[in-house]
Amino acid sequence: MATTEVLVSRGEFTNEPFTDFSNPQNRAAMQAALAKVKSQFNTTYPLWIGGQKVETGEWLKSTNPSKPDEVVGIFHKANLDIANRAVELAHQRFQTWQRVPAAERSEIMFRAADILRKRKFEYSAWVSYEVGKTWPEADADIAETIDFLEFYGRESLRVAQPQPLNPMKGEKNYLVYIPLGVGVVIPPWNFPCAIMAGLVVAAVVTGNTVVLKPSSDSPTIAYKFLEALWEAGLPKDVIQFCPGPGATVGDTLVAHPKTRFVGFTGSKEAGLHIQEQASKTQPGQIWIKRTVLEMGGKDAIIVDDEADLDAAVEGVTLSAFGYQGQKCSACSRAIVTEKVYNSFLDKLKVRVEKIKVGPADDPNNFMGPVINKGSMTDILKYIEHGKKDGRLLTGGNRLPGDGYFLEPTVIADIAPKSKLEQEEIFGPVLAVTKARDFDHALEIANDTEFGLTGAVYTKNPKKLEKAATEFHVGNLYFNRKCTGAMVGAHPFGGFNMSGTDSKTGGKEYVMLFLQAKTVAEKVS
């Protein structure tokens, strides 16, 4: 079937709906999926290199942050030789995969989307256990994964069609988009299925081959996603599954002369390191490596004195403490004009103290654990620093239990340019800063090295118009939370040290994995 016919047959893209867990049938299905997934804990998984299982006898263990004694999966760990071989074999496979018609590649993605729909609860359960996402957060992760499969499948078909050019008399001319080559994909743990899948799918559906180095905190869900792709018909040698340490395996993959591009989501420090490594031309390298970098944020919500305070409190709370604040889009700064500052804090304290924290597999909890012990230790250090620089409004402690549970924490009276106001914490900590007025709030919001998401609460249309022009972030929201970007509706990516503004989930995204070739033929 031709690309145009496939595109028409699939219809318009629509976002995958979220699951209504108030429905007893859905709750029962999720409970059953959690039990099924838990029965598969402690399974050992191989690497997949060149379409073959590879075992090293060196282990990487993934654990449940709600109950760290529980081992979710055990993985053979790659070494430098395997990393180099993975790139070489991916380069060999690229020579044939790039010739597979776009329609066939997209159909694989559509079939994989159908598989995930049928097993949505099961995939959500893996996410909940492995990275501590509560039911709604895990469900949203899988819904977004399905969206990426459907959206990028359609976009690949769109760009595979003949591209319009100005005709030239006496010539037949056309432009085609061709894939780049081998891509190294290094995803984060916080959206262990969605972001990982988005990077992989956009690269593979456009004809590239991939070496996937999943986060050491979330290799199981990456493996499970590959199983869905394989079941959907993707040849097993198109993606090399290569878990291992970033400082050794990751650096080797990025530096390899046959690596053509790197897709990364994670911290600013790691992203800048990858950018530096990729910029160094290696012996035998014949191209400039492309990097697609999605990094951190220090996202602010401005609360104006003309705002609906109750709506602002709710939006700030959901943005700051959804998934324990472990989103690059999370609100870590609330900047509130002085006329409503005290009223806002009073309402915020009451709302935050209603949040229930506990194991992520318990549907009664709004917050689960932070990802690991190291993260918990770092967050607690930030809290102690914040207590000195500001006023602890609520929270501030580790909660009882074996899991990495922290209280949702709000620290008020944080000054602009201070540590808590400038540095990404990546945890359930909100810094609140007082601004003189709306213009001052905008000034404070823009005064960081990041520029990912932001939001403004005000009923004044002129202030919203000013923010639309002057609030320098890649994703800006008005009178709503600053998290929850939807594929197709909110192309996602930020400015400055937040990354290369790659706009994942947007129509331009697949172009990052392609290059344009113009052909002109003289005709009589």
* Sequence letter at residue 425: I
294 labelled catalytic = yes
The 3-state DSSP class for residue 252 equals helix
Confirm if 300 and 335 have CB atoms less than 8 A apart. Answer: yes
Q: In the 3-class helix/strand/coil scheme, how is 80-133 assigned residue by residue?
A: HHHHHHHHHHHHHHHHHHCCCCHHHHHHHHHHHHHHHHHCHHHHHHHHHHHHCC
Kind and range of the H or E run holding 49: strand 47-49
Confirm if 84 and 256 have CB atoms less than 8 A apart. Answer: yes
Q: Which region holds residue 122: left if phi is over 0, alpha if psi is between -120 and 50, else beta?
A: alpha
Q: Which region holds residue 315: left if phi is over 0, alpha if psi is between -120 and 50, else beta?
A: alpha
CA atoms of 243 and 364, how far apart (whole Å): 34
Choosing from 130, 294, 407, 421, the catalytic residue is: 294
* Residue 106 vs residues 166, 412, 438, 488, 506: alpha-carbon distances, Å: 29, 50, 47, 17, 17
280-297: buried (b, 16+ CB within 10 Å) or exposed (e) per residue?
Answer: eeeeeeeeebbbbbbbbb
Choosing from 328, 421, 423, 482, the catalytic residue is: 328
Q: Is 518 exposed, middle or buried (0-12, 13-18, 19+ CB in 10 A)?
A: exposed
CA atoms of 455 and 184, how far apart (whole Å): 33
- Please give the distance of CA 169 from its chain centroid, rounded to a whole number: 47
- Token pair, residue 95, equals 């020579």
353 labelled catalytic = no
Catalytic sites, residue numbers: 294, 328
